[in-house]
Structure 1
Amino acid sequence: MEVVIKISTTEAKKYLLIDTSVLPDVFEEVIQVKELLRSAKVKDITEAVKKVGISRSTYYKYKDYVFNVSDGLKSQKVTISILIEHRRGTLSEVLDKLAQRCCNILTINQDIPINNTANVNITFDISGISGDVKNIVEELKKIKNVLKVEIVAME
């Protein structure tokens, strides 16, 4: 397991990628508490720290400075622009494909069809997706009546 540790300085923030085998166990335990809270497997911080075996003060001391690499570096939201032919069921098929890949739709904005085509912008959460965004875009391009798919933004 790798952990990112934020080192506070008076200048710009610095991050280190460190293998957990060389770190004290407390850093991994803080990560475990954060995961218990995120997954709602416990009702509050007190229960989480008891379950992991660290004090609340230890958790609060490090919680804002230690996180998994995926927490700090993985993109969480993607906005794509899709040009579709104005045919019944096309947008529904696109949304079904995103749902199959565990994308959580945040916003959908569809323009009025002009010349039998419509532009659709979709923003979705990719924190729980299966596969990667490029594969999803390629799958969307294969849907009948989808003319163009582009990634507009990713954060």
Structure 2
Amino acid sequence: MDDEKYYIVKKKALPEVLLKVVEAKRLLDSERVMTIQEATDAVDISRSSFYKYKDDIFPFHENNRGKTITFMLQMDDIPGLLSMVLNQIAKSNANVLTIHQTIPIGGIASLTLGIEILPQTLELSQMLESIEALDGIHYLKILGRE
């Protein structure tokens, strides 16, 4: 089916309306606007143009910046402990992609993090050791790498 082919096209080759649709979708996703009408007004396109193209254009995100690591840890339910974990990641120059924390049961919460390891990220083992060394961290396990 020719309608289902995909192309990578430079931004300068795209019609302005398609770029505005992408921007309207970004505004909606970021919740800077609450309705499609507000989004289309903000980027100066018609709602019909938005609906016509919204499912056909997406930004292209390269995934060559770095490797991704997913790990989980069990930690005490102590105010500020999650912040300290995130601070260790930031000090290592890694990028947090996802965070999921369970509701603490018996004073213990599970935390799963997806981290992007960038070229400027310090040694991974040092980052993980610094997290494990925090008071209140019980267990850290690497779940996967890409």
In structure 2, stretches of 5+ residues that fail to align are 1-11, 13-63
- 2:105 counterpart letter in structure 1: I
- Structure 2 counterpart of 1:78: 69
Q: Is the 8 A contact 2:101 2:110 kept in 1?
A: yes
Task: Show structure 1 runs of 5+ residues with no match.
Answer: 1-43, 45-70
**Native 8 Å contact 2:93 2:122 kept in 1:** no
1:146 maps onto 2:140 in alignment: no
2:87 is equivalent to residue 109 of structure 1: no
In structure 1, how many angstroms separate the alpha carbons of the residues matched to 2:141 and 2:116? 16
| Within-5 A mapping of 1:1-155 | 76-155=67-146
Using the alignment, how far apart are the partners of 1:96 and 1:117 within structure 2?
Answer: 20
Deviation (angstroms), 1:131: 2.4
Question: Taking structure 2 as the reference length, what is the TM-score of the superposition?
Answer: 0.53
Q: Percent identity?
A: 24
| SS at structure 2 position matched to 1:102 | coil
Q: Which runs of 4+ in 1 moved over 6 A?
A: none
- Give the strand-richer structure, 1 or 2: 1
2:74 and 2:139 in contact (8 A); partners too: yes
Q: How big is the shift at 1:136?
A: 1.1
TM-score (norm 1): 0.50
Q: Which residue matches 1:9? A: none
Superposed CA RMSD = 1.9
Partners of 2:139 and 2:120 lie apart in 1 by: 22
Hey, what's the Cα distance between the residues in 2 that align with 1:98 and 1:129?
12
Aligned length in residues: 84
